[in-house]
Chain A
Amino acid sequence: MAWTRHVEFDCATGGEVWRDSTPEEHQALADRQAAYNAAVEADRARQAQDVALVTQEAAADPAFAALARLAGIRLPATGGAP
């Protein structure tokens, strides 16, 4: 489907206007979703990197691991438990 319907409900007049999108508008909506997915994936990757850094630091330093646990960060069993 290369188009979708769109509706406007005017708050001032109570009027209702329906219109069909152009193929370009429809493609823009699809592109918007791709951009959203990419942004979410980038954030997940950043979070995974943060977790890896904290885990690495905790493995090397029991005091850091203790602080991380106090902050509510879940560390793997190998994370240098105090």
Chain B
Amino acid sequence: MASTFEALLLAQVGYLMSNAVQPISKQTLAAPAATVTFPSIPQTFTSLLLIITAQSNGTNTNGYNQVSVAWNGIATGYNILATPSTMASGTVTATSANTLAAGQIGDAWNAHFASPGTGRIVAYFPNYTETSFRKIATSESFASDGGSVGRLGLYGTSNGSTAAISSLAITNSDASSFVAGSVFELIGVS
């Protein structure tokens, strides 16, 4: 698991070093929000990176909430492959699911354990402006209490629509919200 994760990170670092990157929007929530949407995404880049540092105000006993993304207002037909690993046990559970209302890209630490944890997600949207193929996102996620409890995962999601991605809506699970201070950054890669 660790080697796969590191290989993906190195591939992304290498990709970034050989391409121009430009911040599109970096936002820190001033108040809790259940959905964070980036409309009017410029169509001038090759790929997008979405970097999230967030905590959820959810209280489910897992200690984390799923973070999902939907694009262009599409609320059906997302496929996911999720391979999260639980830090305490090291157990990896692979899950695939279809026809979801949004595609999971990671997890955010929630309020159940009342610990100052967070979730970090790096999601990559390749060739988001082309219109011939279905759109995908791949991501790495790490949600933790800052200590030995947490959840590390690799995620993939796709949707059958071939339309260029012009908006992204990031949603927290359980109808809970991202807390104030959560940071959402959208970056364009040429």
Chain B count of residues within 8 A CB distance of the other chain: 36
| Secondary structure class of chain B's binding surface, majority of residues | strand
Q: Tell me, rounded to whole Å, the shortest Cβ–Cβ distance linking B111 to chain A.
A: 14
Most A-side CB within 10 Å, residue of B66, B68, B95: B95
Would you call B47 an interface residue if the criterion is a C-beta within 8 Å of the partner chain's C-beta atoms?
no
Q: A7-B36, A39-B100 in contact; A12/B177 too (CB < 8 A)?
A: no
Would you call A69 an interface residue if the criterion is a C-beta within 8 Å of the partner chain's C-beta atoms?
no
A30 CB contact (under 8 Å) in B27, B102, B175, B186: B175
The total of Cβ contacts below 8 Å across the A-B interface reads 86
B97 CB contact (under 8 Å) in A5, A18, A30, A39: A39
Indicate if the CB atoms of A9 and B27 lie closer than 8 Å: yes
Chain A count of residues within 8 A CB distance of the other chain: 27
Would you call A74 an interface residue if the criterion is a C-beta within 8 Å of the partner chain's C-beta atoms?
no
B40 CB contact (under 8 Å) in A7, A12, A16, A30: A12
| Interface set of A (CB-CB < 8 Å, partner B) | 4-14, 16, 18, 21, 26, 29-30, 32-33, 35-36, 39-40, 42-44, 47
| Interface set of B (CB-CB < 8 Å, partner A) | 24-25, 27, 29, 31-42, 66, 68, 94-102, 104, 171, 173-177, 184, 186
